[in-house]
Amino acid sequence: MGGVESNTIALLPPEVSRRIAAGEVIEKPASVVRELLDNALDAGATMVDVTWTEGGSESIRVRDDGNGMSREDLELCWKPHATSKIRTLEDLDHSRSLGFRGEALASIAAVSELTIESTLPGDHHGHRLEVRQAEYIGITPAPPRPGTSVTVQRLFANLPARRRFLSRAQAESQVIRNTILEKALPFPEVRFTMPGPGTSVRALPAGTLAERTAEVYGSACPLQALTELHGTGEGFSCTILAAHPEIIRRDRRLISVYVNRRRVTEYKLVQAVEYAYQDVQHGGIFPVAALLIDVDPELADFNIHPAKREVRLRNIGEIHHRVVEILRSHLRTYTVRAARWPAGTREEGLWDPPPAGAPSGVGESAGGAGGSGGQEYRVPPGRAPGGPGGSGGAPRRSAPGSLPRVGRPASFEHTRRAVPDDSIRFHGTAFGTYNIVERGDRLFIIDQHAVHERLHYDRLKSDRVPQPLLIPEEFTASPDQDKALQAHSEEYRRLGLLLERCGEERWRITAIPGAYRTAIEDLIEMILDLGGLQEQLDRTFLARLACRAALKAGDHLDSITGEELARRALDLPEPRCPHGRPLWVELDREQLDRLIGRR
């Protein structure tokens, strides 16, 4: 410590500590909007209007028709840790409000010029509060307008370094719009308005949850594609807006998870949605859904992140299981069919990519879907899947001399024609992977690896008989993994996995199904990764084993083996591999004649 004076620790002046605290809560203009929307919604607003200039750096105004504040409340509301939401430490365990810390207005007041006008219901006198960079200016009379109007000007004017790091006004405006859409989704009963293109105003009218979800997701998911599902469990209930499985994305941005009406980052719940869709979507694509969980506040802890983006849920395993169960039950109504080539028209099963400049939804900011340039399929403008007539005009022919793409079915009704039991003729293998098979009046191009993988997977899934290990396999779990394994060891037993706790956070596997023996290290790794999510372990692990054992590209098949593999493939009730990819595409004689130009 040489050269350093004693007594180097000192209490920071209030203005310094306030600015530091404000920097944690208010990162950018959208942070201001987020906090003010929370206050408006907690105040019982049925209408919220948001406007801003220069990407929010010059001014932001949020006006609502909520309960309003008295003069006495205005004098306190901007001070640190002043809140109407809680009074005692115990209140934290029971609060359902979006805000509760008393940090928002104090943080905003520390880094901007803050003006609040508010009127209590039925009062004929309003009041205006003015605070500039945490300096109280005063309270004056204001017009008696119902609710509260908060204006924030010159954000970060006293923090030039923070102001310099703001993005361009257009980019900051897009983040603000996305924040409003994100907040609006779980409050369909509230009308939201904000600036639209040019001088227009974009309104999100009050309506149903499905209507609001479609408004928020925009052209990525039409209302007709959404189904509202409900379920309950011990200490929680859930509402799921599930898009039709043919509404797909190349990223997870439109799998929204809300807990007690707060948008949260909870991978296990996103994972539950993906897992439920695996039977009807292949790998590399993601579903569109909104998951709204209402949980007993005593089972949730939001007091982790300043933006309340994170939550700890005591019953996360039970919620995951119930979400998967609800979605799977619903998705079973869509009988999966293998891909078919369209009969030479764009309207028959082809979904156009979105037109340039199409309006975007909540997850789409500059750079597109995930910035990867991956193509998404959406409903073409003016045509909703499953709507009257199935198309919005006369069919358009493919360009002469061009082969049509493999499309996605235009109708929401999935039906798979029964393959007639005619003799199968195996014509060989293309590119070392695809078997060319004729059956009746149809030609099938079959992925030999995917079919063999499916057959192996079904066989493995039927083998649940545990076989004792000569030497039990031991492993160490983390505290959270240990709790999950204790809670779900009986469910693992039903999968044929016998687990025993042999010490503090120590476990051993004493018996497993015979097919698992070749990959026991992988099994332990997946048990630890998935914890109590035993259903997903079952599917994922078995799919991995099946993939390893299946035929590979380049493996040669003689005609007898090829015909037998094709017969078993075409007789499968679920013509997809364990990862969700179709096993074959089919082309009938009439379609082939059209492609060649005979018709």
The pLDDT tens digits of the residues spanning 510-523 come to 888 876 766 677 77
Average pLDDT over residues 145-174: 91
Residue 32 has pLDDT above 60, yes or no: yes
CA gap 534, 229 in Å, rounded = 23
The terminus-to-terminus CA distance of the chain in angstroms comes to 92
* Structure tokens that stand for 327 in this block: 């979605």
The pLDDT-based confidence of 93 (bands split at 50, 70, 90) is low
Q: What is the pLDDT of residues 378-393, one digit of tens each?
A: 333 333 333 333 333 3
Residue 445 has pLDDT above 80, yes or no: yes
CA gap 540, 550 in Å, rounded = 15
Interhelix angle 29-42/169-184, nearest 10 degrees: 20
The pLDDT-based confidence of 142 (bands split at 50, 70, 90) is very high
Residue 452 has pLDDT above 50, yes or no: yes
Average pLDDT over residues 336-340: 45
CATH for 209-331, options being 3.40.50.1220, 2.40.50.100, 3.30.230.10, 3.30.70.260: 3.30.230.10
CATH of domain 14-204: 3.30.565.10
Least confident stretch, 91-95, 188-192, 371-375: 371-375
Q: What is the pLDDT of residues 229-269, one digit of tens each?
A: 999 998 899 999 999 988 888 888 999 999 999 998 888 89
Residue 55 has pLDDT above 70, yes or no: yes
User: What is the structure's pLDDT at 362?
Assistant: 41
Q: What is the per-residue DSSP string for 537-561? A: HHHHHHHHHHHHHS--TT----HHH
The pLDDT-based confidence of 101 (bands split at 50, 70, 90) is low
User: What is the structure's pLDDT at 392?
Assistant: 36
User: What is the structure's pLDDT at 94?
Assistant: 55
101 vs 368, more confident: 101
User: What is the structure's pLDDT at 477?
Assistant: 83
pTM of the full structure: 0.61
Q: In 228-345, which residue ranges form alpha helices assigned H by DSSP?
A: 267-277, 316-331
Residue 470 has pLDDT above 90, yes or no: no
Q: What is the pLDDT of residues 401-414, one digit of tens each?
A: 333 333 333 333 33
Residue 1 has pLDDT above 80, yes or no: no
Q: Would strands 466-476 and 506-513 be described as parallel, antiparallel, or unpaired?
A: antiparallel
CB 133 within 8 A of CB 158: yes
User: What is the structure's pLDDT at 363?
Assistant: 39
The pLDDT-based confidence of 478 (bands split at 50, 70, 90) is confident
Q: In 252-356, which residue ranges form alpha helices assigned H by DSSP?
A: 267-277, 316-331
The pLDDT-based confidence of 538 (bands split at 50, 70, 90) is low
486 vs 47, more confident: 47
User: What is the structure's pLDDT at 567?
Assistant: 87
255 vs 363, more confident: 255
The strands making up 135-142's β-sheet, listed across from edge to edge, are: 135-142, 126-132, 113-119, 147-153, 59-64, 47-53, 191-195, 201-204
CA gap 583, 572 in Å, rounded = 10
Average pLDDT over residues 350-367: 35
Residue 358 has pLDDT above 90, yes or no: no
Average pLDDT over residues 199-221: 91
Closest CA to 565 of 419, 421, 455, 484: 455
The pLDDT-based confidence of 150 (bands split at 50, 70, 90) is very high
3-class DSSP string for 395-463: CCECCCCCCCCCCCCCCCCCCCCCCCCCCEEEEEEECCCEEEEEECCEEEEEEHHHHHHHHHHHHHHHC
Interhelix angle 479-494/316-331, nearest 10 degrees: 40
Q: Which residues contact 338 (CB under 8 A, 6 or more apart)?
A: 416, 575, 576, 582, 583, 584, 585, 586
177 vs 537, more confident: 177
* CATH fold label, 409-599: formyl-coa transferase, domain 3 (3.30.1540)
Point out which residues pair with 129 in neighbouring strands: 116, 139
Closest CA to 429 of 571, 558, 575, 591: 558
Average pLDDT over residues 288-297: 92
CATH 3.30.565.10 residue window(s) in the chain: 14-204
User: What is the structure's pLDDT at 304?
Assistant: 61
The pLDDT-based confidence of 303 (bands split at 50, 70, 90) is low
For the chain, give the percent of residues with pLDDT over 90.
Answer: 30
Average pLDDT over residues 540-546: 75
Residue 222: helix, strand or coil by DSSP?
coil
CA gap 23, 112 in Å, rounded = 12
Would you say how long the chain is, in residues?
599
CA gap 361, 214 in Å, rounded = 9
CB 164 within 8 A of CB 175: no
Least confident stretch, 5-14, 201-210, 224-233, 585-594: 5-14
- Helix H or strand E segment including 90: none
How high is the mean pLDDT of the chain?
Answer: 77
* Structure tokens that stand for 566 in this block: 């094709």
User: What is the structure's pLDDT at 290?
Assistant: 96
CA gap 367, 538 in Å, rounded = 37
CATH 3.30.1540.20 residue window(s) in the chain: 409-599
User: What is the structure's pLDDT at 177?
Assistant: 94
Top-confidence range, 163-177, 288-302, 329-343: 163-177
Interhelix angle 559-570/448-462, nearest 10 degrees: 60
The pLDDT-based confidence of 308 (bands split at 50, 70, 90) is low
